[in-house]
A and B are shown apart, each in its own frame.
Chain A
């Protein structure tokens, strides 16, 4: 049933950002149905695609991801009414930006996978893995060391001062 396992010289790292309600559940279904797909993907769960900040995608590439997948509920099915529409608009703009920066957009995939679409999850992950494998490693961003990172705490004197002023 399963094709002869091939040995590849390059195993891409794929990071997937998915929403809890649709795609995460769809991936769970692929598991309960014992479907098989390449093990390259690592899944990060969010309540909604609306929560997915484009910064996370950049961060993933910096961190050595060769491909990134963002997947949520089908348009109109959002558990939070319209989060996926906001996500869709945000990422439409973000793709333009990435393209401008020179990132090959084939490395970044958006899809809608519902909680009933275990098969589609397998397809999307397998296709992206194969596509990125054929493209080779992503090198552009790894060289960019992260210079400044917002930590979410008031850790600089300037911030502390601003805070105290209120």
Chain B
């Protein structure tokens, strides 16, 4: 038989003004199972908590109900007090008679009756409460960072500097991401390479960072503190340990006419290549699709010229398993391809803008490569068709972004700023040239951002035209831009030498399949979702996985770096303990009744439900049942409400407890 103690708080006068607390204590004292019922001025105060602790000991209480404010306020306080008095904290419940009663009703009689109901309901509930053990899971203090752009680099360096090992996985042959492609960066116009490459070198030299480039995530298993990650290391055809990075192979490779993706396909590279001179690691990779040796079996020049004998045509993809406790996802973005409607995508293309058809219509990243001192033109702005310097250049913002009818409704956030930057870079390099910008709005929040934008107009003489472009077409060697200036209400037609489209920032390709491997959620555009838009912006709802950079939404570099450091701090918080303690509100399967339909598995958003085989003593399979991994379960209870045979139970919110509450009313 339970011996329940009930404590009714006056909360000064906050409760007792409208609720007759003595009457509540009296009436509740008569309920079966209640052996102690009292009221007190401030239950949360030290004397109040001592009253509770002493009563537990003296009255040998088995369960406790504190009727006071919202459990969101003081549940932890009272559960701690109960624990200190030797009871399991989950045998204590709070009845909310302040926020839900005394504060919202004026009639004393009505409020008192309601308070009695509320407390009575919690008394019936607490009778069915079970002792719940604290769940602890061990923490592997190593971390995985996926994506080696500035986000991944920053997060990896921060975590490694705290002394914990980091596995950094990058899909491309080199780390660096998009920032390595930029020429100069807003709002200060410092050279991107100059601030980026030292960080890349730090990564390469850091004793705590294990770098896997040209590698992808194959599989992720486990849960917070205990993930097993399988990494596929693609065959590079060059032995990383032997290669000294001398680059002889690159200069001798006869196959030199391959468009370089790093230079947005305007520059060329050889079949054995590093994407850019400062690449980290500096080990070349053979592009097997374009290598003569792989296509015809002949050639093999690189192997012959390589001093240390690093070229290995036989190399295979390898799978590596790493154990980590936390994962930072930093896979960044891709640019919207405007020439056609991407296959299978609900997003419509911008065929009318001639990108991909008219050679002198390029996107912003291509312009970055043209403006970059290490780019294919050595930093000269030369148009792709004939290599001439464009004297009239038109920039068009919001291509793809903020176009609901095309399927993307969000703002890409960085285009206003980088277009302003482009007009400046252009003016610095082509003194007699004229830049025009078609824009809808100029969005320049950020430190020194609006000043930067104004400078492009006031000092660098860019002409901003508010309005949209309706059509682009080739006329002789010009690109005619037809648009409207809505500020003056006239049609404009500009014969441009080159057009730069500020295309939308989109999640990188394959973002959704990576999310499915990780079990994290993503929005309809495939940007990864944070656990809470305001208060948990770097954590995924899936415990132990954190987000950094543009994979979560469009971001500039300062924001990306802040989020990356924040994610690293979250990882460090996790690693500050050897054991992870969590609320034991988790689901449990009653195996004898489970029929193995796995309806629960389908609805669990966290992938907490596993399949477990039940075998008899001879080892014969009796049946396969559901098993909830307590390390992964978030405790939503959706599985329980879904289970057709009522065999999953959420501790702390069992059917018994709920029914007891309803019956008490």
Contact = CB atoms under 8 A, between A and B. Distances in A.
B298 interface: no
Which residue among B100, B529, B641, B656 has the maximum number of chain A CB atoms within 10 Å of its CB?
B641
Contacts of B634: 80
B654 A59 contact: no
Interface in A116-133: 122
B638 A80 contact: yes
A154 B593 CA distance: 10
Given A27-B99, A86-B638, A152-B649, A44 B107 contact: no
Contacts of A152: 649, 654-656
B104 interface: yes
B541 A80 contact: yes
Given A15-B665, A25-B72, A36-B104, A166 B622 contact: yes
A142 B71 CA distance: 32
B655 A150 contact: yes
A81 interface: yes
Contacts of B659: 56, 59, 149
A76 to B, nearest CB: 9
Given A51-B638, A81-B541, A46 B653 contact: yes
Nearest to B113: A39
Interface stretch (B114-122, B151-159, B328-336): B114-122
Interface string B640-665: 11100010011001111011011101
A50 B603 contact: yes
B221 to A, nearest CB: 19
A51 B640 contact: yes
Which residue among A24, A28, A35, A63 has the maximum number of chain B CB atoms within 10 Å of its CB?
A28
A64 interface: yes
Given A42-B114, A50-B603, A56-B658, A31 B103 contact: yes
A65 interface: yes
Interface residues of B, number: 53
A62 B541 CA distance: 37
Interface string A8-40: 000001010000100011011011101111010
Contacts of A34: 103-104
A82 B70 CA distance: 26
Nearest to B640: A51
Nearest to B98: A31
A154 B590 CA distance: 11
Interface string A137-166: 000000000000111101000000011001
A108 interface: no
Nearest to A160: B592
Contacts of B114: 39, 42
A83 interface: yes
B106 interface: yes
Given A82-B605, A162-B592, A32 B636 contact: no
A20 to B, nearest CB: 8
A65 B635 CA distance: 28
Nearest to A29: B99
A53 B640 contact: yes
A31 B636 CA distance: 25
B591 interface: yes
Given A59-B659, A151-B656, A83 B636 contact: yes
Nearest to B520: A81
A47 B100 contact: no
Contacts of B103: 31-32, 34
B327 interface: no
Contacts of A150: 646, 655
Given A80-B634, A152-B656, A24 B641 contact: no
A32 B103 CA distance: 7
A15 B649 CA distance: 22
Contacts of B662: 15, 44, 56, 59-60, 63
A48 B121 CA distance: 19
A45 B662 CA distance: 12
Nearest to A166: B592
B592 A31 contact: no
Which residue among A30, A83, A122 has the maximum number of chain B CB atoms within 10 Å of its CB?
A83
B603 A31 contact: no
A30 B634 CA distance: 28
Interface of B: 70-72, 96, 98-101, 103-107, 110-111, 113-114, 117-118, 121, 521, 529, 532, 541, 585, 591-592, 603, 605-606, 614, 622, 634-638, 640-642, 646, 649-650, 653-656, 658-659, 661-663, 665
9 contacts: A28-B99, A36-B106, A39-B111, A42-B117, A47-B650, A59-B659, A80-B605, A81-B521, A150-B655
Interface of A: 2, 5, 13, 15, 20, 24-25, 27-28, 30-32, 34-37, 39, 42-48, 50-56, 59-60, 63-65, 79-83, 86-87, 90, 122, 149-152, 154, 162-163, 166
